[in-house]
Each structure stands twice: as C-alpha cells, then as structure tokens.
Structure 1
C-alpha cells in the first residue's frame, strides 16, 4: 500500500520524523518505567547538602571558585573567642609566680621553674631561707609547749596548796601531818605512812606520855604524837619550830620524822615504821 503523500507528491513529514525518532521514544519510555520503580532517595542529594552547608558558612559561588564571606553570627563568635582568650591571658598573668630560666647543658634553650625562696642573708643559697623559717617555727612551737607545761604545773601546785590550806585549817591529825610535811618540804604522799606510825606510837594523842618504858625509868619519858624523848626532840625538831614545846603536834611530828629518816632511812618511813617477821609494828 502506498504511503500518504503531500500535495507535492512527497511523503508526509510527520511520518518520516516518527520513523526516525522511534528508537528515542522507546529509550525514553524505558527510562520512565525504571524511574517509576526506583525507590526515592532517603536524604538530600550531595549537591543540595554542599549548597546548604556553603550558604550557612557564608560561601558564595563565583564561577570557577567559591569565596567564603563571614556572616554576622560568625563575626560575633570570633569577637567572643578573642575576648575570652584575652581574659584567660590576663588571669594567667595575675597568678603566675616569678619564673627563673635554667638553661639545659650545652643547649641554647632552657626550661622555666617557679622560684620560691627567701635569700635573706644574700649568699645566693636557696635552702637557708626555708630551713631558717622552719627552725624558727619549730622553736616557737617548743617554747609554746614549755610555757603550757609550766602553766599546767603552776595550776597543779596552786590547786594542791589550796587543798592543803583547807586540810591544815581544819586541824586535827591530818592537818598536823600535812603542815609538818610542808614545813619539812617532803611530799604529801608520805602522809599515810606518818599517820600509821603516829597511831602505833600515841594513838593520835599529842599529849601522850609513856611512863613505863626504859626511858621513863631513866627520867626521860617519851612524849607527844611521835613519842620522842626531850633530847631527841631538841636535836631533830625543824629549826623553824625550835621554840615550840615537845607536845606541840606539828613540832613533835617534824622531830620524829627527821629522826627516823636519819637513823633508818626514807624506806622505813615510807613503809610506816619498822615491823617484825610477823608484820607487827616495832617502835623506833
């Protein structure tokens, strides 16, 4: 069958173009078919991402190159960073100790180290200042401890004196013993031993007189709390009480105690007098 022709006897142009473009139409149809079945991209394309990032950073594309132009927010950040850096530098300068450079051996460079010493004597010895200060501090602590100990002793002595004053003022056997020991400058810890001797000798009676022993037969009876004879009393009574009578309680105690220490020793006085093998008291 003959093809349709134009009035000039030529085949219509649309038919010729259709035949020529048939492969292109088939290719386009297949491309549309494949695109319809391809899954959509999950995120923005690389080009979109680059363009958006460049816009945020102030980038402007100018043909073959891209120029970075700081935005207003970027300038503010730069100013803030510069101000913060200046503040940190000022803080470091205000809190930095004096630095000394110690050159390394055979090197032009060195390292910095803090120098903290007081060379008060001018001999360039960095150790003497700290050592002297430490010694002075220790000496001060030692003096303070000594003063505290002295004050404690003084308070203890004052308290003991007050107690003895009360005992002496109260009188009686305990008061007489306390006063006698204080006059003789002997420890008050001897009071129980002295009292034991007195109770064995006179029963605590300052006017007791022995009229039956050998001394009485010789006409020199033992008298007073410690039962001393007149010659013994006169020799051993404390000098401060020499003018008192043999029956004076305090004077008699000083004479008897001093006689016992002189003839039997301090250990006998501390033991409360002599005793036999049975532990019974033996007069002196």
Structure 2
C-alpha cells in the first residue's frame, strides 16, 4: 500500500503525477481543502509536503497519529511546528540549498535594478525622457557589500558579488571558515561598514525585525537594502519611513510582511523595486525541489538518513 502524502502547496500536474506514482496523494493547497483533508484523512497521513510560508501547525500534527515525515519544499520552515514534530519523533526536512543559485541570481538582479534605477529608467524611456533629464546613478562595482546570513544563499550572493569586484563583509551566528569576506559580529557594525546590504538569513521569531530603524540609519542615505529571505526580517514601517525621508537610498524586496497582499506602505514609493516572492522560483528549480523531496522521502521510508534533515 502506498504511503499517504498530504500536500499543502500548489503543484503542477506533472509534479502531482510524479508524487502519485509512489504515494497516495491528498492534494490540499488552499485553506478549505486543507481543513477538509486533515479532518477526513489525518489519521492515515504518514508524510506532509509544505513550505515555510504555508507551514504545518501543532494542532494539525496532533490530528495525524501516523505522521512520520514533514518536509518543506524550499529552505524555509518558519511556520512548521518543528518542536511539536520532534516531540512526536517525526522527521523534519527541507530543501536547503536546492534553489540557492536562483535566489542569489535574483538578489543581484534586485541590487542592480535598485542601484541603477532600471525600472525608473525603463519608465522614463517609454515616456520619451532622455538621459540628460535624469539623475545619474551610483555603480555597484567596487562597493562594500554586507551579507546577512552566510548560508547556502548568502555564500552564493558573495560569490556573485565578487565578480563585480565588491568588497564582501558578512554577519552570521558565528564565523564561517569557508567564507569569502570579513566577519562582523554584530549586524549594526556590518551595516555601518556596508554600502549595500543583502538579507539572506532565515525567518522566524529570532530574526523578526532584525533590520530595524537603527540598522537602516546605519546604512545611510547612500545605502541600499535587498531582502530575499523573509518579509518578517525587515521592519516595514521603518523601511517605508527611511525611503520616504531619503535616509536610505533605495531597496529591492522579493519578500515583505503581509504576503501575498502588496505592501501598502511601499508600493507608492519610487526608490524601491518589488517582486512577489519569486526569487527562488523557476522551472529548473521547481523540478529540482520536487526531485529533492522525492529523494528525501524515499530515504526516510527506506530507513536511511535524510539528505537535508532539520
């Protein structure tokens, strides 16, 4: 008999077919179908596929007596009740590193777009405005880049930034022996040193509003902020105030508080570039993350160690 897999996130038909070949798939990617699936099938579920944003609550875990594996499709897992899962002896995994290249690419794209005002220049060109009527923008080459969170994504951001001859600094819970850059033991010290700051740290309670008014003030009116981690890491009100007042030069965000609703405090500002949490998405990445989950789950049900346990 196929193990029962409850999937709480959107999947393509092809992804569902791949999973259905091995599992009895219960597909519940929205709130109504999710509640119904847990109520009707919870007692049979042995594995759950979700992501950091969608999560899995402790109450839902308690409705699944046979649950033995919870997996986040991507790297994030901030809304999964990991402590409750561990209390039950349930294995928890994620897709750490699978989409790191794509996210790092997007981080550099946001940085370039924000610093070089690419969206604004595009709009001006379409409106018939020539360069003589536009303010010149700073360069990226040779500037100091601070990376907050030197994991899979942060390391790849640093590697790409080195191609622009940027000087790299980073803040992490502890120094990394393999890091390419100068270690700063506080975020404030890194922000004071940096021209540009890229946020690639995990989400969750420990990093909520890690980037606050003081950090933004330290970055300064010529500084730029890019966030490709979680919206909760940046204080939206403080960011909006800094951008509006010109005490921060600009920003590029792929994530923001209140997703999926547009960030109301930011959408009217002209010195920010916004994308709707797409940094880690591409056809290549999607295929890779599904394959990674299938491999992780296969190892679990075979009694072998997970590829990326939490």
Which TM-score applies when normalising by structure 1? 0.13
Larger Rg: 1
Higher strand share: 2
Query: Relative contact order (C-alpha < 8 Å, sep 6+): which is higher?
Result: 2
